[in-house]
Amino acid sequence: MSMVSKLNDSIIKSKSYLCIGLDPHPNEMFVENVFDFNKQIIDVTHDLVAAYKPQFAFYEALGISGLQALKETISYIRNVNPNIIIIGDAKRGDIGSTAKAYAHSLFEFWDVDIATVNPYMGMDTLLPYLEYNDRGIFVVCRTSNSGSGELQNLVVFDDEKKKLFEFVADLTFGISDGSNVGLVVGATYPEDVKIIREKHPQVPILIPGV
């Protein structure tokens, strides 16, 4: 089953478009153990969500214990509800064999369904992720931070005048038939979400910043 089909199936079964971030910020946790913190969230939400999104940086910052907690968290989600989509929010971006190694790590070791990826080095760097027919990627397109427009709003010329984030969205569908790709478009810029949705009505959009 393709990534988009799996995502749609999860949305239908959960009757929800909600994706919950599992971001164990040390200053915001109500328990000391990272896995226990995540487990309590999962236990009360697993029948209400279509996806969970662990942000890898928070786990990597904690060293080996954080990575162990991430592995436990992913395994726990799989056991509680195997239909729920797991998005590995790692925003990887590199060339050649390094991209292949990132794809292998995210899909085969961490066992996430979808990886967030950065397209800045070119669309060819995303191809290793697309070799996994039952997995997929969310391509960083229009981000929610205040400085994102410094690059993402730059005007470029393709067949028409457009902003860089629109160009990224268009390029994404030059490397895929749409069955295994989506876009990251921040909620802080609703007018840009509208632009992407109108141009690409079928694409799954991950909307952070809500």
pLDDT at 117: 98
According to DSSP, the residues that pair with 22 across neighbouring strands are 54
User: CB neighbours (10 Å) of residue 129?
Assistant: 25
| Pairwise CA distance, residues 143 & 99, whole Å | 22
Please report, for the domain that includes residue 132, its CATH number. 3.20.20.70
Find the range with the poorest average confidence among 11-25, 91-105, 152-166: 152-166
pLDDT of 106 higher than 90:
yes
pTM for this prediction = 0.95
Number of domains in the chain: 1
State yes or no: is 15 an active-site residue.
Answer: no
Contacts of 198 (CB under 8 A, 6+ apart): none
DSSP 185-199: E-TT-HHHHHHHHHH
Would you state the pLDDT for residue 25? 86
Tell me the C-alpha to C-alpha distance, in Å, between residue 66 and each of 41, 46, 129, 153.
17, 22, 24, 36
| Residues present in the chain in total | 210
Q: Which of 91, 100, 162, 163 is catalytic?
A: 91
Residues spanned by the domain of 57: 3-206
- Give the pLDDT mean for 159-184: 93
